[in-house]
Structure 1
Amino acid sequence: MSISYNALSGALAAQAALNTVSQNIANSQTKGYTRQGVLLQTLVNGGGAKSPGNGVQVGSLLRFSDSYKSQQMWRAASDLGQHTQTQPYLTQMEKVMSDDKSSLSYGIDNFFKALNAAGVDPTSTPLRQQVITAADSMSQQFNSIYNVTANQLISVQQQRSAILPGLNQSLVSIAALNQQIISTGANGANTSPLIDQREQLIDSVASQVAVEVINNPDGTASVSLKSGQPLVVSNLSAKLGFDTSSGVQQLNLSFANTTFKLDDTKVGGQLGGLAFYQENTLKPLQKSIAEIAEQMSGKINTQLAAGLTSPGVPGTPLLVFNPTSATGLLQVTAGFTSSDLAFSSDGTPGDSGNLQQLVAIKGQPITLTTLGNVLLGDADTQLVGKLGIDSAQNQAQMTTATTVRQQSEDDWKSTSAVNTDEEAINLVEFQNMYQANMKVIAVANTLFDATLKMFG
């Protein structure tokens, strides 16, 4: 009976291998599917020294996976998510700030050109009116660009909030899959499809926040932030949310009745990239624009107050700075007319002593939080230059991250993806194995029948 038993075990093993091959081929285009295989083992020889063996068995189902390659792919997803999310904002801001006809520099230059032109005839009403018109135009450009920064700030905050529901749901699903994997594995069933689902969810989470993943002996996966706070442990999951009670978005992580305050500029992924842009580029830029408007309007109004419109009549403020308004950051004083421009230093009609002092303001230094001491006329140019550098660096990092992600995916596929040519070869090999074993069974039956006839 050993020849029949050996052949039967071989046919059953071949059939199991064929089932695995068919599963691989069926899922060759399934995203995230990890190819499987069978581990064939010879059965222990228990029939004595002259017995060749007791056939073959399927020792286990194999899942072709490399933890290191998966980790590399998830790290690349975090880097790519971080730079991809911020680039549209940087590009928009760079275009707005550097536009030839709508930049702050264009408005400031035209205003001081109008002051220079008024020096030809300080008493000319059209030339004086041109100064007010240029001041109004400059104010509108400040307001327009400042409003873009305010709208971007709202958009970034909304986008960050929109990420959290999906992120939290993914964490819940990973924890649930951990529990399913334990239960399924305990029953001796194949857990590979569940692990595939879990790894796809981890990849999604990794694009949103940078993660560390540890595969545990019981089949579960523990997921945490780079800074160590837990996201998933066994069947427990964390929940991330924003606390706005202080007036700003504070990212918190709640896990097992413990709340952690997070620095969201360092969490990586899409969430970290948006926060980093907000805190390190957008808010400082917005503050610098307000500082230019405040210090320039202060200098101009102070200088006008030092001049006279007529003997004994000091000048009044031309510009109003309002830091609480996104659309009215800088405005021309309501009711201000050309006769209110205090160009004279002694009240004499035609005197331009104070006008020359106004013109000189463009070359005076101002102090910006992001740049330090700069000349008023150069401030916007330097802001645009810094923004351009930030954008170029992010684009370069995004290009690198895209390449690294693609390479990591290719590395993962080299181990885990289905190769249909390879599976076609396996299909033929295991088919031949099955057919050969069935022939052995046929031969064994023939021998058995012959033996019975000998004693018949």
Structure 2
Amino acid sequence: MSSGLFSIARSALLAHQTALQTVSQNIANAQTPGYSRQETVLQPNTPVRFSYGSVGTGVSVTTIIRKRDVLLDDSFRSANTLAGDAGMRRDLMSQLESVFGEPSDAGMANALDQFWNAFSDLSSQPNSLAARAVVQQRGRQLGQLFNDYDTQLTTIRGSTLERLDNSVARINALASQVAELNVRIVGSESSGNTANDLRDARDLKLDELSKIAGARVVPQPNGSVSVLIGNSMLVEADTATPLTVQFETPNPLPSTPLTDVPVRIRLGNSLDRLAPLAGELAAQVTVINTEIPNVRGRLNAMASQLVTAVNTLHTTGFTFTGSTIPGTAAGNFFNAGSLAAPVSAANIRLDAAIAADPSKIAASGSATAPTNNTVAQGLSLLRSKEGTVTWNAPSGATETGSFIGFFRGLVTRLGIQTSSATDDANVAEGLTDQAELRRQSVSGVNTDEELVNMLRVQQSYQAATKMIKAAQEMLDTLIGLA
């Protein structure tokens, strides 16, 4: 009888010692990222059957479970994917919007106004070399502003490409780590135990993958997970397939400027684009392949058609040296470019003759009238002329307007896109926070609750020690009787 009591009490001491260790582990890792609360599962030992009934033989630890809900994990990762996409899109679109910095005295709208004003002033003083010098200066400033915008777009594209390379490298690293953890988890759990800490480590990697690439997780019966990115398998069992970033050769040239050659993400040896993309990866590729080329395309259309409109009018004019009549036919105001290097925001500049000598700027439309101002006046009226800029979007839509109206439309569109991305990011981040709170309500460690559990387990442990003491007294009594 007493030996049975000793055995039961001993099992209680061991079981509650394990439970106390689990509580201690929870408290110790309350602030550890990715840690899931653990719980000791107890069960009664197999009872001994007698003629008068069954007698219990104590308690044992069945397992230590990890408090985790797969559905809540999926919900969090879905929200995390949206937050990654929207947050990255917000950051990158904000950079694009900051290129123009409108409204500003140093921006394109003001530069265009000053350019047209300079021609208006010249029309009032068609013989003035000083007025021509101002036109020359405003034209040079306008061309330089286009050049600066193009340079900044190229810089943003370069930094975004670098981000994309880093994201792909991080995805590959995480995928390899998940595959390695799959192997360790399957090996560890082959004996029937649950590898709680390894599963926590793997879930932390999967959470990060969901934000960067929108990875979807498919648990397998053996304890491993398969990870899908797009519609392709990134990780399966112990195998991780790497991603690569490649440039797509534009065809035909020069339909796509070399500064905006699109990129594609490939998985392993596949020749196809990885699709559909999600998370930060999707935002980065969209900005590189769509947003930056669209902004640059609009700027190139403005620069090219500005050059065409100004040169077309300017070449109808005449310049005069002293009182010499007839005057000399004027040349181009801006460099007209070539078939191999058409005019764009990157290369717009004054014609070499105009850049060297402001007297080559025409104001008169008559070879015999130095004081005529029809060319200068016509150039100043380009300010408000509708339909001077036309751009065909890749979607097939056509955008048209005056120079200043078209530019304001470009800036307004960027502002709307940035504002929309900011709103989307705020909503997605809120949803992610809510999903994390729901997940933490199951898997997070509440130290107050753990302290209560500790007291409860401690009392059970103390009761088991008292039971041993009672059994000892009973044994001593029996010995004394003998």
Whether 2:105 is the aligned partner of 1:101: answer: yes
Secondary structure at the aligned position of 1:123 is classed as coil
Give the match for residue 41 of structure 2. Answer: 39
3-state SS, counterpart of residue 34 of structure 1:
coil
**Are residues 94 and 136 of structure 1, via their aligned partners in 2, closer, same or farther at CA, if it must alter by over 3 Å?**
same
Letter of the aligned partner of 2:333 in structure 1? L
Moved more, 306-315 or 123-132: 306-315
Q: 1:208 aligns with which of 207, 212, 231?
A: 212
Q: Deviating runs (4+, > 4 A) in structure 1?
A: 321-328
Identity of aligned residues (%): 24
Q: Contact conserved, 1:77 with 1:207, CA < 8 A, in 2?
A: yes
Shift of 1:321: 5.4
Match of 2:11 in 1: 9
Q: Does 1:430 align with 2:471?
A: no
> What is the distance in 2 between the residues matched to 1:409 and 1:415?
10
Using the alignment, how far apart are the partners of 2:336 and 2:30 within structure 1?
Answer: 64
Match of 1:175 among 179, 187, 210: 179
Q: Distance in 1 between matches of 2:43 and 2:274?
A: 53
Counterpart residue type for residue 332 of structure 2: P
Q: Is the Cα contact below 8 Å between 2:300 and 2:345 reproduced in 1?
A: no
Cα deviation, residue 360, structure 1: 2.6
Q: Which residue of 2 aligns with 1:51?
A: 54
* Aligned residue pairs, count: 450
Within 5 Å, which residues of 2 pair with 1:16-165? 16-48=18-50, 50-97=53-100, 98-165=102-169
CA contact (8 A) 2:180 2:238 kept: yes
In the alignment, does 2:375 pair up with 1:377? no
* Deviation by residue 1:102-143 (Cα, 9 ceiling, x = unmatched): 222111111101111111121221112211111111111111
Residue in structure 2 matching 1:319, options 334, 337, 350: 334
Q: How far is the alpha carbon of 1:328 from its aligned partner?
A: 4.7
C-alpha distance in 2 between matches for 1:118 and 1:376 = 20
Answer whether contact 1:146 1:329 (CA < 8 A) is retained: no
1:451 maps to 2:478: yes
Q: State the Cα deviation string for residues 285-321 of structure 1 (Å, max 9, x = none).
A: 0111111000011111111122333547332111125
Provide the C-alpha distance between the structure 2 equivalents of 1:387 and 1:297, rounded to a whole number of angstroms: 24
Whether 1:271 aligns to 2:292 is no
How big is the alpha-carbon RMSD for the aligned residues of Structure 1 and Structure 2? 2.1
Moved more, 300-309 or 83-92: 83-92
- Paired with 1:182 and 1:113, the residues of 2 have a C-alpha distance of 76
Contact 1:96 1:103 in 2 (8 A): no
Contact between 1:344 and 1:352, CA under 8 Å: does it hold in 2? yes
Find out whether 1:304 has 2:327 as its counterpart: no
Amino acid at match of 2:365: S
Answer whether contact 1:293 1:321 (CA < 8 A) is retained. Answer: no
Counterparts of 1:304 and 1:432 in 2: how far apart (Å)? 98
For structure 1, which runs of at least 5 residues remain unmatched after alignment? Answer: none
Q: 1:388 aligns with which of 415, 420, 430?
A: 415
Q: What is the match of residue 333 of structure 1?
A: 351
TM-score, L = length of structure 2? 0.88
Q: Is the 8 A contact 2:316 2:330 kept in 1?
A: yes
| TM superposition shift of 1:447 | 2.0
Residue 38 of structure 2 aligns with an amino acid whose one-letter code is Q
- Output one character per residue of 1:235-269: Cα deviation in whole Å (capped at 9) or x when no partner: 11110011237364321111xxx4253357x4222
TM-score, normalised by the number of residues in structure 1: 0.93
Distance between the aligned counterparts of 1:276 and 1:171, measured in 2?
A: 23
Give the stretch that moved more between structures: 435-444 or 413-422: 435-444
**Which consecutive unaligned segments of at least 5 residues does structure 2 have?**
250-260, 321-325
Once residues 407 and 472 of structure 2 are traced to their aligned partners in structure 1, the CA distance between those partners, rounded to angstroms, is: 94
Amino acid at match of 1:330: I
Deviation at 1:200, TM superposition (A): 0.8
